[in-house]
Amino acid sequence: MSDTIYGRNAVTEAFDAGLDIEKVFVLSSIHGDFEIQIRNLCKEANVPLAKVPEVKLNELSKFKVHQGVVALISPIKYHNFKDVIASAFKAEKSPLVLVIDGVTDVRNIGAIARSAYFFGADAIIIAGNFAGRISEDTVKTSAGAILRIPVCRVNSLLTLVSDLQSLGLKVVATSLKDAIEPEQSDMKEPLAIILGAEDKGLHYKVLEIVDEVIKIPAVTDFDSLNVSVAAGIFLYESAKQRSN
């Protein structure tokens, strides 16, 4: 479902045309005006940018003339999270958004999208430049749900937290320690739930500025749950509270 474009004019024209670009790869040795231009285009559109060796670009372009840049067209359309939240409020709903930070496994993203759609979340927001690429595998793992739920992207998680709070959402983050349990949190009010990658979790600065920190209590001393399973548990608790 995703497509590949390569060459400097083709990639910049894709940005000008407003195409949903999943990720851009540039040659690590590129400097100068074009490098600045493509970096600014990616920043403005919240598109992840990776500097890679030529062998990677050759692989992506199938050894066509790429001029040091390759872009992947997304199989989904990205949305503006502020527009999605505004629409939820306009429909007299209590917005519910799920934020994932640094999750790189496309199957996890697909599984999260499936749970988010099932439990009625209004959007998924993907934060960070290194988040996993939405691909055909993501769509397949989500059973098509990722095509039905709005997906948004942001560069800075810290800025996102502030923006969500200013829009009237309570922002909660997940952690393994010093946290309340899900049923102790009021999940009926406008809510954003932030989950980090299993290996790194969330940055301590994020945990300092959110409204609440929540953990899933463990019966054993096993390290942690898969992030998609954790997402399902938090979404279920929110849906249960909202149905009551």
pLDDT digits (tens, 9 = 90+) for 132-181: 678 788 888 899 999 999 999 998 999 999 999 999 999 999 987 778 99
Residue type, 178: D
Q: Provide the CB-side half-sphere exposure for 2 (13 A, CA).
A: 22
pLDDT greater than 60 at residue 210: yes
d(CA 3, CA 12): 15
Helix (H) or strand (E) holding 201: none
Q: Which residues pair with 170 in a beta bridge?
A: 191
- Residue (of 112, 140, 115) closest to 127 by Cα position: 112
Tokens of 10: 């083709």
Residue 168 CA to residue 112 CA, distance in Å, equals 24
37: number of Cβ within 10 Å: 14
Q: What is d(CA 110, CA 158) in angstroms, rounded to the nearest whole number?
A: 24
Instruction: Find how far residue 228's CA is from the centre of its chain.
Output: 13
Checking if the pLDDT of 131 tops 60, the result is: no
Model confidence at 2: pLDDT above 60: no
The structure's pTM equals 0.87
Domain residues of the chain, as ranges? 3-73, 78-243
CATH 3.40.1280.10 given to domain 78-243: yes
Q: Give the whole-angstrom CA distance, residue 22 versus residue 135.
A: 9
Pick 3-73's CATH classification: 2.40.128.20, 3.30.1330.30, 3.40.718.10, 3.40.50.720: 3.30.1330.30
- Residue 150 φ then ψ, to 5°: -60, 135
In this prediction, residues 23-33 reach a mean pLDDT of 94
Q: What is the band of 1 on the pLDDT scale with cuts at 50, 70, 90?
A: very low
Q: How far apart are CA 33 and CA 10, in angstroms?
A: 16
pLDDT band at 124 (very low <50, low <70, confident <90, very high): very high
The pLDDT mean for the chain works out to 91
pLDDT 10s digits, 29-49: 999 999 999 999 999 998 999
Our measurement of the distance from residue 78's CA atom to the centroid of its chain's CA atoms, rounded to an integer in Å, reads: 10
Q: Residue type at 168?
A: G
